[in-house]
Homo-oligomer: A and B are copies of this chain.
Amino acid sequence: MIVVKIGGSQGVNLDAVCADAAGLIQQGQKIILVHGGSAETNAISEQLGHPPRFVTTATGFTSRYTDRETLEIFAMVTSGKINTLLVERMQRFGVNARGLSGVDGRLMVAQRKDAIRIIENGRKLLLRDDYTGKIETVNSALLDMLMNAGFTPVVAPLALSTQGDALNVDADRAAAMVAGAVNAEELIILTNVPGLMRNFPDESTLISHLPKNGLEQALSFAEGRMKKKVLGASEALDLGVPKVIFSDGRTEHPLLDALGGKGTVIS
């Protein structure tokens, strides 16, 4: 079992990913796809007159501020557009894909962050009414049921709060939670860079292998978006996933490359 996280609209070669996935599935491999959608959500939010707002949390991460309107746009773009088109693409490759978000059948239940501490212009602030959350449980029985019936799950990064609200969740960390829940052998995180670099964006500093105990240090040099991927990798390993691979989604064979050891292998 392999869980593959596909980045938003960041130049990832979707046809190549789907072709690789279809080939592996035909050979008997089980695959779950998890996708993001930040870039496209930003573009459509702008078009709809509700531009995205990003905040820096007190712990140093960049987060989307998700008011209710943003949540609905996020659901529309990730679950409606990106998920549907990815399922359609997999179907064209002969794979009976099946889209769902964490809201569906309570696939992913999260604790809603009632308030997030942010830093703005050097001042600490508390933001309320944020529809984001941290996933606590993944309904692996639902994924097993779908896979046993021959479907390939394609997961959109929404969760349901314990109070019944749809929430925006980080897709890298969602992929990590899913990988842990289904006891995946590998979690492949595809991006538009070759992997984790010690000095981003200098590709000659690509780290080809990172032991688990190197992850904490990696958090210090990982740039912006890569920080959450490092965090996701750490969570997946903690949940018993033996191997996490950060790999380049722009190549002709993104999944075969990753499985062949290209990119950054963390184990």
Contacts and interface: CB of A to CB of B under 8 A. Distances in A.
Find the residue from A49, A99, A105 having the highest chain B CB count within 10 A.
Answer: A105
Contacts of A247: none
Given A80-B75, A104-B99, A88 B149 contact: no
Contact of A96 (B97, B106, B145): B106
A132 interface: no
Contact of A165 (B48, B88, B165): B88
Given A91-B103, A104-B100, A166 B84 contact: yes
A17 B47 CA distance: 32
A76 B81 contact: yes
Given A49-B47, A100-B104, A104-B99, A79 B84 contact: yes
Contacts of A88: 103, 160, 164-166
How many of these chains are in the complex?
2
Given A81-B80, A104-B100, A106-B96, A91 B160 contact: yes
B105 A85 contact: no
Interface residues of A, number: 39
Contact of A98 (B48, B75, B78, B105): B105
A165 to B, nearest CB: 7
Interface in A81-116: 81, 83-85, 87-88, 91-92, 96-101, 103-106
Nearest to A92: B164
A138 to B, nearest CB: 15
A200 interface: no
A118 B109 CA distance: 48
A41 to B, nearest CB: 11
A254 B47 CA distance: 36
B75 A81 contact: yes
Find the residue from A44, A87, A165 having the highest chain B CB count within 10 A.
Answer: A87
Given A47-B47, A96-B106, A99-B104, A78 B75 contact: no
Contact of A77 (B80, B142, B146): B80
10 contacts: A47-B49, A75-B81, A76-B76, A77-B80, A78-B80, A80-B84, A91-B103, A96-B105, A99-B101, A100-B100
